[in-house]
Amino acid sequence: MTLRWLKPEFRKHGAAALLSNDASMGIAPPEDAPVKSPRGYWRWGERRGGGVSILIEQRAVWVNSGLIIVLMLACTAYLSLGSVILDPRDVVKALAGQGDIMTGFMVQELRLPRLVAACLTGGAFALAGILMQTLARNRLATPGIIGIDNGATAFAVASVVGMSVSLAPSAMALTGAVTAAVLTFGLAAGSGTQGYRFIVAGIGVGAVFGAITQLLLARVAIDTANAAYPWTVGSLNARSGGSVQLLGIGLALGFVAALTLARSLTVLRFSEATASGLGVNTSARRIQILLLSVALTALAVAVAGPVGMVGLIGPEIARALSTPRHVPVVAATLAGALVMVLSDLAGRTLLAPIELPVGIVTAIIGGPWLLWILMRPQRSHA
């Protein structure tokens, strides 16, 4: 990029503002002829003269629509496969409310709620993951690794053991996640969030909360402990309807919030000074992003338990597919949902009749991945 190329571009586009992570908005100066859109973008809106137009990144559109199509296919497979294998056409019919009653019951009452829970938790974990990674400027800083999942789990288990109100796990998970986040960030305050120290401090915090979970489970009757066990490794079996609805609302709100934060996220990847210089109120944004990430994690943990690896894998896939121009918020959410759906499908079907908890499947996929990230020769790891 030379200065000669830059200058007219800059004049023509004026203050280019990023509307979302996948589209950016530019205000064209009024006297100009039709403005060519930059490479790799589509221009949408006013062609000439003083209007507002929106730049849409082509790559992001392809990636997101591709992910949506794959996710749809995965969902169809999820609804068709299982102990009884259904024809995908029957599944579509059953979804529309037609077809025979047995299929309808199986699809709508048994598999669909679980599918919805899988999509929502996967999306929430991955969204929380990419937010936290961007915030800490550290690829390893996903909520699952720095102990927030474990904090949420410990408090949620406390509520399962202690009281039986259906919304209590969500509220308690939220409390636990906030506690763990405060501890991890507070303990790492001296050393910053970029290095590996922050991560190890988070692992320590996670270990404490993991031990507390064990402690709570050790005190209850063996039946309750057995019932809670799959949930403590991450499973979609023990979900309660109330917390799924709460997660749905939370994810919808959080997704919109993440889109409005996307522009700041893109800039926050650079140094503090650069971000402030570009007009981002960094301290306020940081707190907003942190709260959003923690809340999403807590709501998802209340449904499925700690399936934190999705928060690592989803953003990794999204980043591999996208250009580094933006933080791929949408793609990460979609990829997270996809990973969760496929993992749970694998867990349900591969070793049938035994059902693998989804947390174990994601740990087996994500563990080697994490090792690979760690074992690359020393480079920047943001």
Partner 1 sequence: MKVALIPQRLEQRTLLALLLTALVAVSVVSLLVGAGTVSPSQAFSMLLGSEDSEAHFVVWELRAPRTLIGIAVGMALGVSGALLQAVARNPLAEPGLLGVSAGAAFAVALALVLGASAATLRISVAQLGALVGCLCVLGVARWRGVDNDPIRLVLAGAAFSALLGAMTSMMLLFDQRSADEVRFWVIGSLAGRRLEDLWAVLPSMAFCTVLIALIARPLSALALGERMASGLGHHPQLIRALVVLCVALLVGAATAIAGPIIFVGLVVPFIARAFAGPDIRRTLWFCLPIGPLIILTADIISRVVVAPSELPLGVLTALCGAPVLIAAVRARRLPML
Residue 382 interacts with partner 1 (CB under 8 A): yes or no = no
* Token pair recorded at residue 285: 């944004």
Residue 346 interacts with partner 1 (CB under 8 A): yes or no = no
Residue 364 interacts with partner 1 (CB under 8 A): yes or no = yes
Calpha distance 273→275 (Å, rounded) = 5
Residue 256 interacts with partner 1 (CB under 8 A): yes or no = no
How many residues touch partner 1 under the rule CB under 8 A: the total is 42
Calpha distance 19→263 (Å, rounded) = 7
Pick the binder of partner 1 from 8, 30, 97, 190 (CB under 8 A): 190
* CA-derived radius of gyration, the chain: 22
Pick the binder of partner 1 from 77, 208, 238, 291 (CB under 8 A): 208
* Token pair recorded at residue 330: 């949408």
Binding map of partner 1 across residues 33-52, x = CB under 8 A, - = no contact: --------------------
Pick the binder of partner 1 from 204, 224, 227, 291 (CB under 8 A): 204
Calpha distance 310→365 (Å, rounded) = 10
Q: Terminal CA-to-CA distance of the chain, rounded, Å?
A: 24
Residue 238 interacts with partner 1 (CB under 8 A): yes or no = no
Pick the binder of partner 1 from 76, 108, 214, 237 (CB under 8 A): 214
CB of residue 75 to partner 1, shortest distance in Å:
25
CB of residue 189 to partner 1, shortest distance in Å:
9
Give the burial string for 262-294 (b: 16+ CB within 10 Å, else e).
bbbbbbbbeeeeebeeeebebeebbebbbebbb
Judged by CB, which is closer to partner 1: 63, or 363? 363
CB of residue 135 to partner 1, shortest distance in Å:
19
Residues 347, 364 contacting (CB under 8 angstroms): no
CB of residue 288 to partner 1, shortest distance in Å:
27
CB of residue 177 to partner 1, shortest distance in Å:
18
Binding map of partner 1 across residues 310-339, x = CB under 8 A, - = no contact: ------------------------------
Q: Taking the alpha carbons of 287, 293, 298, 299 in that order, is the dihedral positive or negative? A: positive
Residue whose tokens read 């904090």: 151
CB of residue 303 to partner 1, shortest distance in Å:
20
Calpha distance 226→169 (Å, rounded) = 18
Residue 360 interacts with partner 1 (CB under 8 A): yes or no = yes
Residue 211 interacts with partner 1 (CB under 8 A): yes or no = yes
Pick the binder of partner 1 from 35, 95, 140, 278 (CB under 8 A): 140
What distances in angstroms separate CA 2 from CA 5, 12, 15, 40, 180, one per listed residue? 5, 16, 19, 18, 47
DSSP secondary structure letters along 121-141: HHHHHHHHHHHHHHHHT-TT-
CB of residue 233 to partner 1, shortest distance in Å:
6
What three-state secondary structure class fits 350? coil
Residues 159, 169 contacting (CB under 8 angstroms): yes
Pick the binder of partner 1 from 91, 146, 154, 212 (CB under 8 A): 212
Calpha distance 133→137 (Å, rounded) = 6
Which residues of the shown chain bind partner 1 in the complex (CB under 8 A)?
140, 187-188, 190-191, 195-197, 199-201, 203-205, 207-208, 210-212, 214-215, 218-219, 233, 351, 354-357, 359-360, 363-364, 367-368, 370-371, 374-378
